Amino acid sequence: MKRGPWHQFGDRSQNLALEQLQAGRGVGVVLSPRALSLANAQTRSAQYSGLGADILVDNQFYVPDFSNRYTETYPTEEFRRSLSSLRRITPAETDDLAASIAKINEQVGAAAIIAPAVCYEAGRPETCEVNASLFAAARQAGERLGLPVYGTVILGNSATGSWDTVAAVLDEATALSADGWYFGFEFMQERIPHGLEATLRCCMGGLKLACTGQPVLHAFAGPMCLLSFCFGATGSAIGHSQNLWQFSRTRWQQSERSGGGGNAPARFFSSKLWGTIVYPDEIARLDVTTANLVLTKTEFTRQLTARPPFPALSRWESNKHLVAILCDTAAAISKADRALSACAAVDKILGESVAIHGRIEAQGVELTDNTSSYQESWRQSLLRLQEERRQDYKVLGLQGL
């Protein structure tokens, strides 16, 4: 698995990922059957691999009977069934699923196979049974193509409420003979996860997987890519849309394009805040020194100013800017020689963010979207992670991580 930021596919990600790779951002792309047809996936994967990116396909069985016009173009479509139906899959059907998985990954030139999986849930052993069967099919496909197979470990919200339930599920998942892990955590919080305990459990889960000695790709990381390499991940998957900023099954329970937003002003993602600020409305309320400090720019936002006249910032340009900031920061952190070194680097970033948010609050400015609600929680989560999981970090150290 290539080390660094990966592009996580969602709606309208094709050109965005291409532009970012052309600019040298990102080491790979995770394609989504929800977001593009198989024919388009073949075309796009050739473009991305031509720029040096590795290709993975997330078959997305999280809501197993979900289907849309894109998934219908994939040979795995006939296996999108209810959980109870997947429990009854026959050996012959497993062989057919393996052939379908192999066909998809061969056509896009995948670097490895992500095993399809439903969400793991606490107290539901059938999810473990189904995922073992789906992994067996993926393993057959991997053997056919000579590719490594990554076990998908998406922890559903019923499993994420305590460390005991997280650990129990991970014990089941890591019994699979995986060559790596595709890891996601369902928080059930808006926008960006902010709870200290939930963030800690997510990082502990990722750390437990990293301690297996196999690479971990932190899926649906979004701005949490800041934490990925702190818990030993090899890659962090980043997307522009808010529904890619954490794993949520609602993406597979609603129409492909929900619309909305109207004429709402663009949110500018600041690397100094490690969060968004409304441009220009909230920037205009800050003193000029703070405003210039917050306006950390990329090639997509060079035109922006801290004082009138304010150039326009479209929401699409703000999306490109967001991905650029996340990729650049994740790439820098991924170069840390150890996970503990990444923790130190991230602590510095979050500490500065907390200080700047305090400065903004002292000016009587309250930013929308609860954009200052998680930085200190994340910081404290990392401190506790290092304290409470010292033995795990020793294991990573023995692995050179």
Instruction: For 54-72, give the DSSP string.
Output: EEEE----SSTT---TTGG
**Amino acid found at 253:** Q
Identify whether 260 is part of a domain.
no
**Number of helices (H), then strands (E), in the chain:** 13, 10
Structure tokens at 123: 């107290």
Contact assessment for residue 109 and residue 148, using Cβ atoms and an 8 Å cutoff: no
Question: Digits of tens for pLDDT over the chain (401 positions)?
Answer: 999 999 999 888 999 999 999 999 999 999 999 989 999 999 999 999 999 999 999 999 999 999 999 999 999 999 999 999 999 999 999 999 999 999 999 999 999 999 999 999 998 999 999 999 999 999 999 999 999 999 999 999 999 999 999 999 999 999 999 999 999 999 976 789 999 999 999 999 999 999 999 999 999 999 999 999 999 999 999 999 888 888 888 877 754 444 444 567 889 999 999 999 999 999 999 999 999 999 999 999 999 999 999 999 999 999 999 999 999 999 999 999 999 999 999 999 999 999 999 999 999 999 999 899 999 999 999 999 999 999 999 999 999 98
Determine the Cα–Cα distance for residues 315 and 209; give it in Å rounded to an integer: 36
Reduce the DSSP state of residue 307 to 3 states and report it.
coil
Taking Cα atoms as reference points, which of 319, 193, 330 lies closest to residue 266?
A: 319
Same domain assignment for residues 197 and 126:
yes
Structure tokens at 384: 């506790």
Identify whether 257 is part of a domain.
no
Q: In this structure, what are the phi and psi dihedrals at residue 281, rounded to the nearest 5 degrees?
A: -50, -50
pLDDT score of 97: 97
Same domain assignment for residues 225 and 273:
no
Q: Domain tally for the chain?
A: 2
Distance of CA 220 to the CA centre of its chain: 2
Domain that holds residue 158: 4-252
Identify whether 324 is part of a domain.
yes
Identify whether 396 is part of a domain.
no
Identify whether 81 is part of a domain.
yes
Identify whether 94 is part of a domain.
yes
Taking Cα atoms as reference points, which of 50, 60, 3, 59 lies closest to residue 26?
A: 3
Q: In this structure, what are the phi and psi dihedrals at residue 119, rounded to the nearest 5 degrees?
A: -70, 135
pLDDT score of 366: 94
Contact assessment for residue 392 and residue 338, using Cβ atoms and an 8 Å cutoff: no
Determine the Cα–Cα distance for residues 140 and 135; give it in Å rounded to an integer: 9
Same domain assignment for residues 326 and 231:
no
Identify whether 32 is part of a domain.
yes
Same domain assignment for residues 272 and 316:
yes
Same domain assignment for residues 172 and 289:
no
Identify whether 397 is part of a domain.
no
Same domain assignment for residues 184 and 301:
no
Same domain assignment for residues 35 and 124:
yes
Instruction: For 317-356, give the DSSP string.
Output: HHHHHHHHHHHHHHHHHHT-SSHHHHHHHHHHHHHHHHHH
Determine the Cα–Cα distance for residues 205 and 198; give it in Å rounded to an integer: 11
Same domain assignment for residues 82 and 218:
yes
Whether this model's pTM surpasses 0.75: yes
Q: Which of 252, 279, 298 corresponds to the end of one domain?
A: 252
Same domain assignment for residues 303 and 182:
no
**H-only helix segments in 51-124:** 83-86, 91-108
Q: Which of 252, 284, 305 corresponds to the end of one domain?
A: 252
Q: In this structure, what are the phi and psi dihedrals at residue 24, rounded to the nearest 5 degrees?
A: 85, 15
Structure tokens at 194: 């902010």
Within 8 A by CB and 6+ apart from 84, the residues are none
Same domain assignment for residues 234 and 314:
no
Same domain assignment for residues 174 and 279:
no
Determine the Cα–Cα distance for residues 395 and 207; give it in Å rounded to an integer: 10
Determine the Cα–Cα distance for residues 27 and 148; give it in Å rounded to an integer: 17
pLDDT score of 28: 98
pLDDT score of 254: 52
pLDDT score of 263: 65
Q: Which of 221, 252, 283 corresponds to the end of one domain?
A: 252
